[in-house]
Amino acid sequence: MELYPAIDIRGGRAVRLHQGDFDRETIYDDDPIARARAFETAGARWVHVVDLDAARTHGTNRDVVVALSKALSIPVQTGGGVRDASLLADGVGRIVCGSIAVSNPGFTQSLISSYPGRVAVGLDHRDGEIRTRGWEVRSGVQLHDAVQWPAFSHAASFVITNIARDATMAGPDIEGLGDAVASTAVPVVASGGVGSLDDLRALRDVGVAGVIVGKAIYEQCFTVEEALAACEA
């Protein structure tokens, strides 16, 4: 199982939102690039970056994301306001299409076909319903349906975030993620709720291909090195 240490960027700073609430923000670092370099030094093979401002169409941190990608020798996976392939041209390793995937699956399919292995589909949900535009808009689309849409069958992965668990460290939705793994051939990357090394092992055991971890690392519940060992054991 691959580990994706996470950096969420808002106003140029590394932050975390509690359950996706923009009014419940914790600032962890004024220098996201330094934070990413620390993840790389610790042995991470990927870094996951989210542009929270772009996700809400309230500005962009694109310059920071591109600079961060160029500062590392490991690939960056990025989401938040992704609407085309331009970030791939600027050196980002993989993009995560979220809102655009739900609103225009045909266009997303064309990106997936044009950039094999470099386009993931982000499915952020609350109680099984996909949310878009920075988790603020209800789509009416159910997670269990979206993972079976033919347009996404060749995506690099499904990045599945349970919004209610995000940044809570209360444990991931093991059962729901296991169901997703069983219902699609596309690799599943889990996001939301990880608070312990046991959580990582449980995700690994249900067949999750990758896991995004943010707050648990920032709050020193475990180190990147310890998380990598749990993912690989």
Q: Is 173 annotated in the active site? A: no
- Backbone Cα Rg of the chain: 16
Q: Is 31 annotated in the active site? A: no
HSE (CB half, 13 Å, CA atoms) of 36? 28
Angle 115-119-122 (CA atoms, 0-180°, nearest 5)? Answer: 165
- E strand or H helix that includes residue 102: helix 99-103
φ and ψ at 141, to 5 degrees?
A: -95, 135
Contacts of 187 by beta carbon, 8 Å cutoff, 6+ apart: 156, 157, 158, 209, 210
Phi-psi region of 173 (alpha: psi -120 to 50; beta: other; left: phi over 0): beta
Residues 133, 174: contact at Cβ < 8 Å? no
With tokens 């470099």, the residue in question is 118
Residues 175, 183: contact at Cβ < 8 Å? no
In the set 51, 53, 124, 199, the catalytic residue is 124
Enzyme catalytic residues: 8, 124
